Structure 1
């Protein structure tokens, strides 16, 4: 299985880079992992709704250029479906059984995802009704993907 994480912005904090590196190493036993970063738009604090949407669309265009046509796309979206870890593992197993060997998870920027990316999405996933920094979301996603593989393989993992 090939997993891609397409995300807006670069990780600057060392502690997040270390966590991403650790989960990437752990995941290498189970899948081919690619993390693709695209530039985020500089956005002032007081943008109008139209300006915010324009930022999301520009970031979205960059994301869409990184997604292969044959990928099953899962967007991280506050309005998406919330799953337990076991349900996410089952969802990923179902994708494999359906012949989906390339899964791309998409993490938007600080303003979220544009309509262009949401339109390309095959599945919208929400980790919580809470908002997380998009840099931290990358670590949380990698941990849950790793946990999914452990669950699917019946291997022990802390609860």
Structure 2
């Protein structure tokens, strides 16, 4: 089973992009993890931009996906709980986990109304680029926990 991460636009901050690449390479040693950057909307109005991003997210979904929103209002978990969450998805799930990280304005109503599972990386508000890195780091950490491999804390 593969895990996918999807978000609007490419990471512009080169330091965060390098960190993203590093964790993506690390986690791919354990499980196939795909990163998808949707075409970024050029809309300047926040509402129209979020609507355009929503269309991009929904158009990307397939019947084989298990969408999981990464959202500040989602379920909070410790790293161990997240590792258990991932292990259950990969062991018992029938669909591929698809982690969706919203753009700078979050998710549109149409996505929120779908009732997708939602997780939080922190009770604090994170920039969407930082949330991407943190998600990949937590995926890597989850696999080190699952495989009982020491990981520097």
Q: TM-score of the superposition, structure 2-length normalised?
A: 0.90
1:62 paired to 2:63: no
Q: TM-score of the superposition, structure 1-length normalised?
A: 0.87
CA apart distance, 1:121: 5.1
- Which runs of 4 or more aligned residues in structure 1 lie more than 6 Å from their structure 2 counterparts after TM superposition? none
State how many pairs are aligned.
Answer: 152
Question: Which structure 2 segments of 5+ residues have no match?
Answer: none
1:77 paired to 2:62: no
Question: Which structure 1 segments of 5+ residues have no match?
Answer: none
Q: Deviations over 1:73-124 (max 9, x none)?
A: 1101121111000000001111123233511000111110012222345310
RMSD over aligned CA atoms reads 1.7
For 1:35 and 1:120, locate their aligned partners in 2 and report how far apart those are by CA, in whole Å.
22
Alignment-derived partner of residue 16 in structure 1? 16
For 1:107 and 1:56, locate their aligned partners in 2 and report how far apart those are by CA, in whole Å.
12
2:119 pairs, out of 125, 134, 153, with 125
Alignment-derived partner of residue 43 in structure 1? 44
2:102 pairs, out of 92, 108, 121, with 108
For 1:155 and 1:136, locate their aligned partners in 2 and report how far apart those are by CA, in whole Å.
25
